[in-house]
Chains A and B, each alone.
Chain A
Amino acid sequence: DGGITQSPKYLFRKEGQNVTLSCEQNLNHDAMYWYRQDPGQGLRLIYYSQIVNDFQKGDIAEGYSVSREKKESFPLTVTSAQKNPTAFYLCASLASGGARVTGELFFGEGSRLTVL
């Protein structure tokens, strides 16, 4: 089945460590997104990429980095510069073709990062 796969589902990090969250999609979508969700809050955009080898900062990019070397993959690195990284991270991709203009997002199941 087509979809978005995020891994790991749970991740623990010691302070000062960088960690990388994986996001893979087999939907053939051009655009991919990373959101952060804190308890009781909505989603905030970290980074997005509309095409391979190109990406833009979202609203809260500080302390994060991404790459987009392949259409299917959009990994997010949470660096030690991110002061409060404990959160639920969601990856999404944008439907293409007839649904493209609507902006409907398809989401992965999320990765929960906890800093010890």
Chain B
Amino acid sequence: SQQGEEDPQALSIQEGENATMNCSYKTSINNLQWYRQNSGRGLVHLILIRSNEREKHSGRLRVTLDTSKKSSSLLITASRAADTASYFCATVNYGGSQGNLIFGKGTKLSVKP
């Protein structure tokens, strides 16, 4: 069952620009996580935001969460070619078993040098 839906499906920007990806979900959540996947590789956890948090930062990453709109955004500032990857949001539903994340289909980010 799909929970998060990322938008856009694909994003192409120049190095140095900011990249914004959005995620919408359907049910109440405990937390929302963002993962990164390089082509043909496993996923790497980037950042987690709890349902009672509105904004979180980690290096060049900024995540926001609006539970009233059931949406989250991931901002990558001053993007680099090495940021080229697919980015997935994943949710842990309220009352759900920890670790049973529900993943969206991802946003494919291409950063051109």
Contacts and interface: CB of A to CB of B under 8 A. Distances in A.
Interface residues of B, number: 25
Contacts of A105: 35, 43, 45, 99, 101
Contacts of B104: 42
A58 B105 CA distance: 18
Most buried by B among A6, A31, A58, A105: A105
B43 A102 contact: no
Contacts of A107: 42-44
B59 interface: no
A105 B102 CA distance: 12
Contacts, number: 66
Contacts of A31: 99
Grouping DSSP codes into helix (H, G, I), strand (E, B) and loop, the A interface class, with mixed when no group exceeds half, is strand
B33 A103 contact: yes
Contacts of B41: 109-110
The 3 A-B pairs of least Cβ separation, nearest first, read A107-B42, A42-B103, A94-B99
26 contacts: A31-B99, A42-B104, A42-B105, A42-B106, A43-B88, A48-B99, A50-B97, A50-B99, A58-B100, A88-B40, A90-B42, A90-B43, A92-B43, A103-B33, A103-B92, A103-B101, A104-B45, A104-B48, A105-B35, A105-B43, A107-B42, A108-B42, A109-B42, A110-B40, A110-B41, A110-B42
Interface of A: 4, 6, 31, 33, 35, 40-45, 48, 50, 58-59, 88, 90, 92, 94, 100-110, 112
